[in-house]
Amino acid sequence: MSPAKVCLLLSLPLVVLLIMSFQAQGGLGQSLQALLRPDVTQVDELLLHFTWWPRLAVALLAGGGLALAGVLMQQVLRNPLAAPTTLGVASGANLALMAATLMAPGLLVVGREWVALAGGAVAMGLVFALAWRRGLAPVVVVLAGLVVNLYLGALSTALLLFNHETLAGLLIWGAGSLSQNGWGGAAALAPRLALCALAAWLLLRPLAVLELDEASAKSLGVSLKYLRFAGLGLAVFITGSVVSVVGIIGFIGLAAPNIVRMAGARRLGTRLLWSTLLGAVLLATTDLLLQRFSGMMATLIPTGAVTGALGAPLLLWLIPRLKLQGDRPPQASSLLAGRHAAPYRLAAGIFLALLLTACLGLFVGQGGGGWTWINPLEWSVTEWRLPRVMAAAASGLMLAIAGTLLQRLSANPMASPEVLGISGGCAIALILGIYLLPAPSNAALIGIGTAGALVTLLGLVALNRRSGFVPERLLLSGVAITALFDAVRSILLAGGDPRGQQVIAWLAGSTYHVDMTSALVVGALAAGLALATLPFTRWLDILPLGAPMAKSLGVGLTQARLGLLLLVALLTACATLVVGPLSFVGLLAPHMARLAGLSRAREHLVGAALIGMLLMVLADWAGRQVMFPYEIPAGLVASLIGGAYFMWGLRRL
């Protein structure tokens, strides 16, 4: 089916919804009269002129602009994973607007679009800085964008946690609200998008060169760095303009170009045209559908959140049908090379550092008179700190082991519960359990979270089994699941439910409410699940070598994978229940252990577990001290520490 036919087919729901809307408004003639010559004495015509028609115009403009930005990013990076949200541009714009609202509200009077543009530009500049030494190589840019996106999301969560009442309005707008009270939004977007479309047309031929390999493009005298800079800079400008008017609507820029590509559009000009049209159609259709049923709902639901909720399943359906450049399974060399000469001596050193950090968390802190050293026998203070240290260590242990299992199972060093969306799937189940069940117990929440994580894992396996777990496909699957999680979270938090603040605090990963009983239970679960992974070490040494080698050595792949995935689900659910889904530990700890030379499975597990505990205990202590007497949740601090380390590591590549 051609791109034109696909766009026409997907436009039919929009046409039907428009006809139904016109009928409800007194017919097409009445609606057009309200658009062109509204009667100032008729309230209905004024509402149509200043709300309904501007909202439709903004939906069409924003959807087309995001799709155009998505095509540019995917063309420059030669990767269908690239989009405004996955490269951190939308998150940077949103963070800048939140920061300006709190610290410099006068900037919003000057123009919030410029604040959003500055935030998106800084985020994209950070991605450029991380990937510049590698010539803005597509894979490195996407990886840098993923890390920047998670990092900026953690910073936004921190601002929201400490300023929930001030930023409550931004929960709806930031999730993608198309509500309008005039033509200001459309008037601001239309000229900018027109100029961007003209610039994209002028860059059409140079950008088409990027479809060639690196050597062929350089032989034509094309400066790949500056061409990528121009293409991505234009995409940043488009994204910042859209975010400043309607907030974050992430799915359109990712899905529309992929749908058009799958429909047979191979030339860049064709993809730009039809993707822009399809993006406009998709967003306008979703918004009209939401308006149609908004009267049945007790709360206002942002359009961007609904777009993500509807788009994520479609994206998951598209993933097995995408043709990725370099579509080949990952190699195990990155997981097996560079073994340390004395691995267990190194592990003992890490264990000693963990003990020292635990002592720091228990006995050193700030009080009313400044920094103090608590006597170990002074139980009145230690009894409040010990459960938090135990819970932080247990959650770090579980996340680190889950990340190690995933990385060795898929032979992909970027695999982790956070990146692949497993923590997000677990969090969706837990949030729904909190909202739908009357006072659920911890045991019930663990079961619900495990089921959510396991369903997510099985979905990842089903989507990527035929492709041999290609890293890009796994990452794209994780992006789709994370988008679904963000959509569910935005819908629930935008409703104004009093439990929203509790959910925000839990999502940030605070150990504040952990008592001794809960800490002992979590510690026992972590120890038991960690011991349960030891019998699988032989499988974990063999599985990265590939399926043929594993079968020849007598490993039952189905049983091995199912057993390991069940362990990952349990570990992720228990850890997420304590510190939320935002931590980087599941990605960072196995990576640090491997860089230290702990490459064999047993050594890798032990080293990652120790590093994971060390990171979370340190994060919990730092969160209690940095802004004393206020606290930053341990999961949030771990995200900030882990993100900074990972960006430093990318810069050194």
User: How would DSSP label each residue in 539-588?
Assistant: HHHHGGG-HHHHHHTT--HHHHHHHHHHHHHHHHHHHHHHH-S--SHHHH
Mean pLDDT on 602-607: 88
- pLDDT score recorded for residue 319: 66
Is pLDDT above 50 for 327? no
Higher pLDDT, 592 or 327: 592
Q: Where are the alpha helices (DSSP H) in 137-222?
A: 138-162, 168-174, 184-202, 204-208, 214-219
Q: Of 301, 287, 221, which is closest to residue 252 (Cα–Cα)?
A: 287
pLDDT > 80? residue 134: no
pLDDT reported for residue 42: 79
Q: Cα(64)–Cα(256) distance, rounded to whole angstroms?
A: 9
CB atoms within 10 A of CB 423: 32
Q: Does the pLDDT of residue 467 top 70, yes or no?
A: no
Ranges of beta strands (E only) in 71-206 are none
The pLDDT score that the predictor gives to residue 8 is 84
Higher pLDDT, 68 or 131: 68
Cα–Cα dist 452/459, whole Å: 11
Task: Supply the DSSP symbol for 373.
Answer: E
pLDDT of residue 380 exceeding 90, the answer is: no
Token pair 């889904």: residue: 581
pLDDT of residue 321: 63
**What pLDDT is recorded for position 174?**
61
Residue 90 pLDDT > 80: no
Residues 503-540 have pLDDT tens digits of: 766 666 677 777 788 888 889 989 998 898 888 787 77
pLDDT band at residue 194 using 50, 70 and 90 as cut-offs: very high
> pLDDT tens-digit profile of 92-121?
888 888 888 888 877 777 777 778 778 888
* Measured CA distances, 150 to 101, 421, 463, 497 (Å): 21, 12, 23, 26
In which band, very low, low, confident or very high, does the pLDDT at 609 lie, cut at 50, 70 and 90?
A: very high
Q: Which residue has the higher pLDDT, 218 or 488?
A: 488
**pLDDT recorded at residue 504:** 67
CA–CA gap between residue 136 and residue 229 (Å, rounded): 9
Burial class of 630 by CB neighbour count within 10 A (0 to 12, 13 to 18, 19+): exposed
Helix (H, G, I), strand (E, B) or coil at 372: strand
Two structure tokens written together for 628: 């004393």
Tally of CA atoms within 13 A in the half-sphere of 403 that contains its CB: 33
Burial status of residue 13 (CB atoms within 10 A of its CB: 0-12, 13-18, 19 or more):
middle
Question: Is omega for the bond preceding 629 within 30 degrees of 0, making it cis?
Answer: yes
Asked if the model's pLDDT at residue 352 lies above 90, the reply is yes
How far is the C-alpha of 157 from the C-alpha of 151, rounded, in Å? Answer: 10
Nearest alpha-carbon partner for 271 in 2, 509, 9: 2
Spatial separation of the C-alpha atoms in residues 411 and 422, rounded to whole Å = 17
Measured distance CA(10)–CA(100) in Å, rounded? 39
Amino acid identity for residue 478 in this structure: G
Most confident of 94-108, 309-323, 474-488, 558-572: 94-108
Residue 453 near residue 422, CB atoms below 8 Å: yes
Secondary structure of residue 41 in the 3-state scheme: coil
Q: Are 586 and 399 in contact (CB under 8 A)?
A: yes
pLDDT above 50 for 222: yes
Q: Which single residue is written with the structure tokens 């597990």? A: 605
**Phi, psi dihedral angles at 267 (to 5 degrees):** -80, 145
